[in-house]
Structure 1
Amino acid sequence: MENTPVTINPAKIGLIGGLAIRAGIFYYDQILKRYTDAKLPLDLTLRHADVSTVLAYVGSANRVGLGTYLGSLANELFDAGVDTVSVTAVAPHLAIDDIKKASKGPIINVLESIAGGLKSAGLERVAIFGNRAVIASDIFGSVSERMVVRLDPKEVSAVHDTYNDIALYGKRGTEAEVEYFRNLANDLITKRGAQAIVLAGTDLSSFYAEKIPDFPFLDVAQLHIDQILKGI
């Protein structure tokens, strides 16, 4: 499901990447394309984060530690002159309040875009693909519980493991993963009442960058990129 094109509010953009092989690169590539199409010069600074450090904090639900770490990287970007900072992955938004608390400037929070994205797409029942923490928390509470078509525990584990494998190895459009997600999505949509799949992980967005899914979907990374372009 495509997003409505947004009007770009030119700004000095800061991104925190390194959260998997392709996350920051995907954001940079997508933002550059939009600026190029609008014939605007892009001013963007990317700060690399250590993925092992981030995953350790996410895995232990250490919000304060994660917020302090990513907040310190955000402050390096603000010191470099950026206007806003965005974390180019969904899972670290577990600690968005702590990231904001530790930061000296505005952090663009992807979670704030999701309810509006669902409404704009006319979606009332969705299933979520991403890592375990994102699925289990309904994207950290950004999707209403009544809207979610649940994966069973084995499916959650399989989606989590498949997603992590994609993220670790930077896979794009590989046949086995495409088939797995297609079959699961079709079951969720045709038999369990989901209208679409929410792709709640930047590495899924990157995975499908060259060929979009053949099932209805909402891409959280693209919602975030729209926020960044609008500067909100």
Structure 2
Amino acid sequence: MHIGLIAGIGPAATDFYYRGLIDRHAAAGIPLDLTMAHADVREMSRNLVAGNPTRQAEIFAGLVQRMKGAGAEAAVITSMGGHFCVKELTAISPLPVLNAIPAVDAALAKRGLRKIGILGTRAVMESHLYGGIPSVEVVPTEALDRVHDTYVAMATIGHVTEAQRQVFFEEGRRLRARGAEAIMLGGTDLFLAFAGHDPGFPVIDCADIHVDAIFATSAR
């Protein structure tokens, strides 16, 4: 299947999805057929903060139309934050949208988790991944503003500082202390902070689950 990636939201997240799909297809000996269209992470952030999913869905739909013209058969939003408009996009998209949220909920249920914490944008943390993970109880993140601002700063430039890493690790430990069995990385770019590091608690990466689901679909 020819996959269309809405990319650029942010640059590190695009790299994560692209490399992940390359690696999975190569390991399976299956050719990867893929087209990307660039979205502006700053524009998306403005619409997210303004609570304007309809406008962002219209922007994404225009990019999906371009990818459809290039032969894509399904579209992907390469950002958990970008899923704030996935319902609106699905309603108007020229192609089927491979939604991350049902895949994440299924993965959480399969692992038998009962209570988790979430790190990511304010919208993802407050909405519990847009209300899409009913299989688990979510421990509220108390440092919402600090985690959100740190995440956005990191995602916008595609690079993490040690101080930013410690913000995520400290809040993850607090969530664990308050009963979370694992911490869900609800922001795609969080791999920048966690890859190759032991935070001292179990981690579930939403983006990795999404890439697995995309591969399973594209390999059919």
Q: Same fold (TM over 0.5)?
A: yes
Of 202-211 and 38-47, more deviation after overlay is shown by: 202-211
Amino acid at match of 2:202: P
* Counterpart pick for 1:38 among 3, 28, 35: 28
Q: CA deviation at 1:19?
A: 0.9
The answer on whether the counterparts of 2:4 and 2:67 sit within 8 Å (CA) in structure 1 is: yes
Q: CA deviation at 1:143?
A: 2.4
1:85 paired residue number: 75
User: What's the secondary structure of 2:167's corresponding residue?
Assistant: helix
TM-score, with length taken from structure 1: 0.88
Looking at structure 2, the residues matched to 32 and 178 of structure 1 have their Cα atoms a distance apart, in angstroms, of 27
Q: Can you list the C-alpha shifts for 1:119-146, whole angstroms capped at 9, x where unaligned?
A: 1222110111001111111110012397
**Distance change (3 Å), C-alpha of 1:24 and 1:121:** same
Of 211-220 and 30-39, more deviation after overlay is shown by: 211-220
Q: Which runs of 5+ in 2 are unaligned?
A: none
1:5 paired residue number: none
* Counterpart pick for 1:227 among 197, 208, 213: 213
Is 1:175 the counterpart of 2:165? The answer is no
Looking at structure 1, the residues matched to 173 and 40 of structure 2 have their Cα atoms a distance apart, in angstroms, of 35
TM-score, with length taken from structure 2: 0.92
* Counterpart pick for 2:88 among 98, 114, 127: 98
* Counterpart pick for 1:26 among 16, 40, 48: 16
Q: Can you list the C-alpha shifts for 1:170-226, whole angstroms capped at 9, x where unaligned?
A: 124x4223333222222221x211001110111112433344644201110011111
**Distance change (3 Å), C-alpha of 1:206 and 1:45:** farther
CA RMSD of aligned residues (A): 1.8
1:159 paired residue number: 147
Report how many aligned residue pairs link the two structures.
218
Is 1:125 the counterpart of 2:115? The answer is yes
Q: CA deviation at 1:52?
A: 2.1
Q: Which runs of 5+ in 1 are unaligned?
A: 1-10
Looking at structure 2, the residues matched to 187 and 57 of structure 1 have their Cα atoms a distance apart, in angstroms, of 30
Looking at structure 1, the residues matched to 37 and 192 of structure 2 have their Cα atoms a distance apart, in angstroms, of 19
Q: Can you list the C-alpha shifts for 1:75-110, whole angstroms capped at 9, x where unaligned?
A: 111111012110000112111121112211111011
The answer on whether the counterparts of 1:166 and 1:207 sit within 8 Å (CA) in structure 2 is: no
Amino acid at match of 1:30: G
